[in-house]
Structure formats: structure tokens, C-alpha cells
Amino acid sequence: MPLCVKSPVNAKSSSVLRCHPFAAQLTLKYKTFETAEELFEYYSNLLKSATLNQELNEYEFNMVCALLKAGHYAAEEKQGGGVRKVHVCTHPEHSSRCFMLTRKDGSQVNQ
């Protein structure tokens, strides 16, 4: 089953969705996912159900950070000096929900 993440095509292009296979199971922090579809559904439901602009609770925060570390091509860049909190917001350019990270230095970046 693939794990799909956005990754750049080249230095001048925007990100595209790329899929990477993972074993029969993938454990992220507290939860084991049997399929990529199960993983996608979990995080999609979290995005849909979270109250906009409200900080995620500790469990959700840890799950989002685990996904960032395991599946984002620019995880280190996104984390910067560390992540202090995560909330769900509407992406300013795409009008869709996204996870917004607030770093320990107070700067923000979407995941």
C-alpha cells in the first residue's frame, strides 16, 4: 500500500502527489494503520472534524507530528526549531482545510 505525500518535481516546480509503498502495517505514534487508505481516512476525518483555528489536543498534535516526520519530504524544514502547537485552518491560497504548525519561535507554516 502506498503512502502518498507531496514532493517537488524539481527546484522550480510546485509539489505533486507521489506515492511510496509501505509494509503491511504502518505505526504512527499511538495508531497502527493496516492500509494507506485507512491512514488517509484517519487524517482526512481529523481535518474535517476539527474546529477551525482551535489548537489540537495532545493526542491529535502527536499524531500530526508523527505523520509529518514519517511522510513529508520537507519535514525538517516544516518543523524548524520544533513545533509548539498545531491547528486546522483554511489554506489562504487553496480554500481547503490544512494543518497549520506553529513553531517554537512563533512562526507558522502549513503542513
Q: Residues with Cβ < 8 Å from 101, sequence gap 6 or more?
A: 68, 78, 79, 83, 85, 86, 108, 109, 110, 111
> Is 1:19 a contact under the CB 8 Å cutoff?
no
Q: Residues with Cβ < 8 Å from 44, sequence gap 6 or more?
A: none
Residue 11 has pLDDT above 50, yes or no: no
Grid coordinates representing 87 are 491547528
Task: Compute the C-alpha angle 46/48/49, nearest 5°.
Answer: 65
Q: Kindly state the percentage of the chain with pLDDT values over 90.
A: 35
- Give the lowest-confidence range in 20-24, 61-65, 74-78, 80-84: 20-24
pTM (predicted TM-score): 0.74
